[in-house]
Amino acid sequence: MGLRRKTVFIFLLSVLGLGLVSRAFSASPAQTLTPTQSAETPLFKALMSAQADPHSMVYEVKRGDNLTSIAKKNGVTADLIKKINGLSGDKLIPGKKLKIPNYKFSVVVDKSQNTLLLKGNEEALKTYVVSTGKNNSTPVGVFKITDKLIDPTWYKPNAVLPPGSPENILGTRWLGISKEGYGIHGTTEPEKLGQQVTAGCVRMRNNEVEELYAIVPASTEVTIVD
């Protein structure tokens, strides 16, 4: 092969290689989330599996136990115990073995990225795309989840909007934080996720706020950053 043709051939190979690297990088899991995406880690998948893992314990049900008492004693929710262990109801049979997570959960909301990160023992579990407040109206600081509501009623000035009302923007779940009037809730406008459009609350897709609601107990720490 002549020197000129060899040089051109090497150049074309290098261009092709750069193209492959570029495409591989753009497909990386670290890419920016779109409003339709959430990103779960292997730790989250292990958490939601019935299989025991290093971040869980196996509890044998005793006579007189109930889901609420087991959950409270272990700092988790009854909903999470049911979901992980495939329980369809609240009835427990003595001797049954249950997987109980031993994570201490926390939440970090990043206003600049419009993301909510669920953490367990300071390890990243899952990232959700959310909407935050327009004009920097979402408060910054460290808060606690103070109340949890299913199908919340929206009490607004001069109006009470029940669950299911087209004007009730709260969606299917409400997790109030220790800043009066603010919380994490569902939405009737999923197309606006990833934007700063709310009056100050954090909005999530309904199925995702239902998932978060089932995982985090009251008193979970919520950190909101700019």
Those residues with Cβ within 8 angstroms of residue 117's Cβ, 6 or more apart along the chain or in another chain: 107, 108, 109, 110, 124, 126, 127, 128
Residue range of the domain that includes 90 = 56-101
pLDDT for position 156: 86
**170: CATH:** 2.40.440.10
Is residue 94, in this structure, part of any structural domain at all? yes
Those residues with Cβ within 8 angstroms of residue 210's Cβ, 6 or more apart along the chain or in another chain: 172, 173, 186
82 and 164 belong to one structural domain: no
d(CA 52, CA 45): 12
206 and 161 belong to one structural domain: yes
Is residue 10, in this structure, part of any structural domain at all? no
| DSSP 8-state secondary structure symbol assigned to residue 88 | S
Tell me, letter by letter, the H, E, C secondary structure of 135-200: HHCCCCEEEEEEEEEECCCEEECCEEECCCCCCCCCCCEEEEECCCCCEEECCCCHHHCCCEEECC
Active site residues: 185, 201
d(CA 174, CA 134): 20
Tell me how far the alpha carbon of residue 46 is from its chain's centroid: 15
Is residue 32, in this structure, part of any structural domain at all? no
| DSSP 8-state secondary structure symbol assigned to residue 131 | B
d(CA 108, CA 142): 9
pLDDT for position 33: 66
pTM of the predicted model as reported, rounded to 2 decimal places: 0.83
82 and 119 belong to one structural domain: no
Predicted confidence pLDDT, tens digits, the chain (226 residues) = 454 454 444 444 443 443 433 333 333 333 456 666 799 999 999 999 999 999 999 999 999 999 999 999 999 999 999 999 999 999 999 999 999 999 999 999 999 999 999 999 999 999 999 999 999 999 999 999 999 999 999 998 889 999 989 889 999 999 999 999 999 999 999 999 999 999 999 999 999 999 999 999 999 999 999 9
